[in-house]
A = this chain, B = another copy of it.
Amino acid sequence: MAITGFTISTEGPGLYEFTGKVRAWTEGRGDGLLTLFIRHTSASLLIMENADPEVQTDLTAYFHRLVPPTTDPAMSYLTHTHEGPDDMPAHIKAGMMPVSLSIPVQGGRPLLGTWQGIFVAEHRAAPHRREIAAHFAG
């Protein structure tokens, strides 16, 4: 059993891949289970296609329309606005996307599909440093 942490710097809404860091950490560990947990309520973990970057920008654009900033008249019923117009929408998105991911590992390799990458989905506008706790059990 092993525990570590990853820190991912973000600069506004979008997906930030860190598959390489995860692969490097599980390498040589044999068979087991990898768990990732993001320690925030305004950013998420996401497994998404990492081949075509348009997928990532489209995904971010969709969620921005689904959950617009609280300055949008459609969101006027929300009350938690004092931390900025992007704050409450960030919490809502964090309620829709995963906070934890569990991935079986075989021969030290997470059993990701061919096109799957591991990302932080940042929901806030300002730069942040996001902490992910990682756990491996063999």
| Chain A residues within CB distance 8 Å of chain B | 1, 3, 31-33, 35, 37, 39-41, 46-49, 52, 54-55, 57-59, 61-63, 65-67, 77-80, 88, 91-92, 94-104, 106, 111-113, 115-116, 121, 131, 133-135, 137-138
Contact = CB atoms under 8 A, between A and B. Distances in A.
How many monomers of this protein are in the complex? 3
A134 B58 contact: no
B134 A104 contact: yes
B104 A102 contact: no
Contacts of A98: 98-100
A137 B41 CA distance: 25
A31 B4 CA distance: 12
B102 A1 contact: no
A35 B98 CA distance: 14
Most chain B CB inside 10 Å of its own CB: which residue of A62, A67, A116, A134: A62
Contacts of A62: 67, 78, 92
